[in-house]
Chain A
Amino acid sequence: MTAVPDRVVTTGADLLADAVAAQAVPVERVDWRPPMAGTEADLATVAGDPRRRTANEAALAAVLGVTAHLVDVAPASELLGLEPGQFLHAGPPITWDRAAGPLRGALMGGAALEGLVEDPEDAVRLFESGGSVSLDPCHHHGAVGPMAGVVTPSMWMFVLEDLATGRRTHCTLNEGLGKVLRYGAYGPEVLTRLRWMGDVLGPLLQGAVRAVRDSHGPVDVTGILTQMLQMGDEAHNRNRAGTLMLLRDLSPSMVTGGGDSVDVAEALAFVGGNDHFFLNLAMPACKLALDAARGTEGSTMVVAMARNGTDFGIQTAGTGDEWFTGPAQVADGLFLGDYGPDDANPDIGDSAITETAGIGGFAMATAPAIVRLVGGTVPDALATTRRMHEITLGENPRWSVPVLDFRGVPTGIDVTRVCRTGILPQINTGMAGRRAGVGQVGAGLVTPPAEIFPRALARLAELAGRTPA
């Protein structure tokens, strides 16, 4: 009861830590710094919210309790009930007049794909008039979209399910790199590839996914994520191991599914040659896990980070469906070819859902092979993952990092810890060209705009203040 403590953690004056050390008791010194400007009162209110601790424990447990299985592949019209003229996009809600170049380019290409216009350029007038078209975030429809994240009714989507609850999330099939719709390109080769994906790839995958599901049980996407993190993928900018493991699980059924052998070969070559194919399964797996924490009153955990190329938005478990937004930043990284910072659009895409769930930039330490792609060094990568532990509520015992002695990835971004430390979530990202139609110009690292965290905190404090203590 009154024995000498084994260890003292000091937060504040070094002098007091020195005095403990002088008495030969081990001391851990916290590198405390003042919180983000003007947040002290809200931080105290939220810290004093009697619901907070148990709400955050519940939210984290809910996220960690979900496993995602690949149960189906089908067109968005069937899965989400999308009608012609309905467009989903990445990030928080936005209107055409504020949409950035890559989002506009993807919407224009999507309109042409759906046959709403002959030439993608003609879609500008269609979206300006706004009459027969609507825009809505993927996140509002149980879906996530990489980069521009545009989903149209005819696009095929993966269906991930939490088998325990039957909850589902969705994501389109990955198109590969270079001139692709999600980076805002809409040239003929982009539309040709999308049509092939709808006509050939989607049905082949559907057959294989259903056959695997019905014979061996559905592919365990969470399990593949566990393995790929040990194989040098952080599952945002590097998905090579994951893609090949998926192919290993699906290819026998694709071959025996009765499809045309040339089509099957082409589909296998497309998937196997596209290192990012698995990203479109990692993302909905992360959303499926994080959605389990939505609506946990009193929780300060972030359940979504998403960008539409103009705004960066977050949602938290304790604030319902409200978005807290600020201007999206331009990533810092490496550029393809002759492209430079002036060519890059501000950050875009729902893919930061991976970081929200503890992988991607948060698992940077596990993927030394890509640290140069995103402009860093191996020690930076180790430091980044460790630093993310400073702003998260816990770690994921399933997703561990060998080089950090198998410590679990940092999971459950805590708005209060971000405001207290000023440490912003680290996101690995691709960079889309600023102008519609350009496509990818680079890849790098980005953080959310700092001000959205104090905004979310203020709302959490307001809600905490209304709760009887």
Chain B
Amino acid sequence: MSDPTDHVELRSAYADSVALLQVSRDVQAVPGVATAQVAMATPLNLEVLASMGFDVPSAATPNDMVVAVRTAPDGDLSAALAAVDAALAPRRPAAGGGAVESHRTTASALAEAPGLALVSVPGASAFVEAMDALDAGCDVMVFSDNVPVEQEVTLKRTAAERGRLVMGPDCGTAVVGGLGLGFANATRPGPVGIVAASGTGCQQLLALLDHAGVGVGTALGVGGRDLSAEVGGLSTTEALRRLDEDDAVELVVLVSKPPADEVATRIEEYAAGLGTPVQLALLGPGRPDLTVAAEAVLDRLGTTPPAWPVDGAAAAGRGGRLHGLFAGGTLCEESRLIAAEAGVPSAGSSFTDFGADDYTSGRAHPMIDPTLRLEHLRQVAADPGTGVVLLDVVLGHGADPDPAATLAPAITGLDVPVVVTVVGTGLDPQDRDRQVGALVAAGAEVHLSNATATRRAVELAGGAR
């Protein structure tokens, strides 16, 4: 045999996308394996498998697990499959001998003792698990995306009737009394409370305020659609009420992607009636960006805003299209708005949010799984019409433990200038300084502020002057 060999099988099994990402990586590392992909057979993953050249049986459904392994000419398939089995093997002790099986629903786990529920199952099942939490009288954070908006409304109406809080869906960041949930940066406790209808918007504020020496005790993520007309700010209202009752909170910041006008008006009225001042950071055309909002917060607290750090320097611009490839939805939106106001210098520029539902069905979020974004980076960097690439790297609990390890090699040696926003703090498990150092060494220019990074990218897209 001299050709590589493909092995594709379907298994009736389930594992979450993060676990399968790890399985795929473990198997790829086995000697003799050319490439491997173990994933649930969602349409997106089938596309990925097809692009890798695997031939997946048409009978595959999203409930099937696809094990696809390509062995090198001298590779040993049985060793590769043994590695798949080993990586998939349950870590929990088998039943019997007094071992207690884990609970199978949020309801049964909460029946034993109450707690905060954190739901991250696929979107089609998230509602049911979240409702379990409300039925048990508990607050819930819905990390899942792809949750239908009408289910979100039902969930939040139910929570409002019972005085409970639903965090999320579609905003995977919260800090509750200092505990980071989902994608949250490690911060010091402090006088600021955040209500966020925007996950990475919240993280940008956490990072900027941390850099300025101001701590955040609690940040409640209320879901990217909470201030839409359909949802009507149900969770925002409850989150504001809770922060208002918290004596440790001196100032509340409400951050959101562009809200529905009538909802924004109603929330502004509600906020005005609270005892704690509320600083609005609502993105939108003609509205201040997040960095300006952070500076306003610092002003109100009597702290002078610092100069926002910039490390490294991008290569001189040759002019051309600006391609923004984002893991953070709000950062993507903010860059789009800033670029539009500046008049993006050439047609064909793009702003892509790889955390959007289309890219995460049955796949881990790009803050965990860089595969799709790295593939796009390769494509746009190879295009001579590209003038500049703008990227974000979001650190914190739950995120890729070392994003620079895959991103820096992909940047190294590119002709096109690369500007990166690294959102994070010195306390984050990834260590922001170390990440920045690796990216700068690869030739990138690294900002803490997404707004300054975007303005710099716009400038570079205009070309050398």
Contacts and interface: CB of A to CB of B under 8 A. Distances in A.
Contacts of A28: 103, 109, 112-113, 115
Contacts of A5: 115-116, 176-177, 179
Interface string A9-22: 11111111101101
Contact of A7 (B102, B113, B246): B113
Given A2-B193, A4-B178, A390-B108, A10 B118 contact: yes
Given A48-B151, A379-B95, A9 B101 contact: no
B109 A22 contact: no
Contacts of A33: 14, 104
A47 B131 contact: yes
A31 interface: yes
A305 B118 CA distance: 35
Across the A-B interface, give the 7 residue pairs with the lowest CB-CB distance, nearest first.
Answer: A12-B120, A7-B115, A31-B102, A4-B177, A5-B116, A19-B397, A379-B96
A150 B201 CA distance: 69
Given A10-B120, A386-B101, A19 B368 contact: no
B117 A1 contact: no
A31 B397 contact: no
Given A2-B176, A416-B128, A34 B63 contact: yes
Interface in A428-469: 469
A129 interface: no
Interface in A27-63: 28-35, 37, 40-41, 43-44, 47-48, 50, 53
18 contacts: A4-B177, A5-B177, A9-B116, A11-B117, A11-B118, A11-B119, A13-B16, A17-B118, A23-B397, A25-B179, A29-B102, A30-B108, A44-B151, A48-B151, A377-B96, A379-B96, A389-B108, A417-B105
A338 interface: no
Contacts of B113: 7, 28
Contacts of A379: 95-98
A48 B115 contact: no
B121 interface: yes
Contacts of A382: 98
A369 interface: no
Contact of A9 (B117, B158, B218): B117
Most buried by B among A4, A15, A43, A44: A15
A423 interface: yes
Given A30-B106, A386-B100, A43 B125 contact: yes
Given A11-B118, A34-B14, A16 B124 contact: no
B143 interface: yes
A14 B18 contact: yes
A469 B193 CA distance: 35
B398 interface: yes
Contacts of B103: 28, 30-31, 390
A3 B176 CA distance: 7
**Chain B interface mostly helix, strand, loop or mixed?**
mixed
Given A31-B102, A390-B104, A390-B108, A12 B143 contact: yes
B57 interface: no
A333 to B, nearest CB: 19
B114 interface: yes
Contact of A47 (B104, B128, B193): B128
Given A7-B116, A35-B125, A390-B108, 5 more contacts: A5-B179, A11-B105, A12-B120, A32-B121, A420-B125
A6 B139 CA distance: 12
A387 interface: yes
A203 to B, nearest CB: 49
A80 interface: no
A53 B178 CA distance: 33
A9 B110 contact: yes
Interface residues on B, range: 35 or more
A122 interface: no
Contact of B124 (A4, A11, A40, A389): A40
Contact of A4 (B107, B127, B151, B179): B179
A436 B212 CA distance: 85
A382 B100 CA distance: 9
Given A3-B177, A28-B103, A379-B98, A34 B127 contact: no
Contacts of A266: none
A421 interface: yes
B122 interface: yes
Contacts of B176: 2-5
Contacts of A3: 176-177
A16 B17 CA distance: 12
A265 interface: no
B131 A48 contact: yes
B417 interface: no
A41 B138 CA distance: 24
Interface string B113-154: 111111111101101110101010010000110001001001
B243 interface: yes
A420 B158 CA distance: 21
Contact of A48 (B116, B127, B364): B127
Contacts of A16: 118, 120, 143, 181-182, 398
Contacts of B217: 2
A383 B96 contact: yes
* Residue among A44, A377, A420 with max Cβ neighbours from chain B (10 Å): A44
B180 interface: yes
B108 A44 contact: no
A20 B174 CA distance: 12
A41 B158 CA distance: 19
Contacts of B405: none
B120 A23 contact: no
B292 interface: no
Contacts of B96: 377, 379-380, 383
A5 B115 CA distance: 7
A177 interface: no
A31 B91 CA distance: 12
Interface string B267-279: 0000000000000
B245 interface: yes
A12 B16 contact: yes
A8 interface: yes
Contact of A19 (B17, B243, B398): B398
A48 B143 CA distance: 19
A23 B104 CA distance: 24
B122 A34 contact: yes
A2 B242 contact: yes
B105 A390 contact: yes
B143 A7 contact: no
Contacts of A421: 104-105
Interface in A347-383: 377, 379-380, 382-383
Interface string B428-450: 01000000000000000000000
B372 interface: no
Interface in B414-431: 429
B19 interface: yes
B172 to A, nearest CB: 9
A34 B125 contact: yes
Given A5-B177, A12-B120, A386-B101, A43 B128 contact: yes
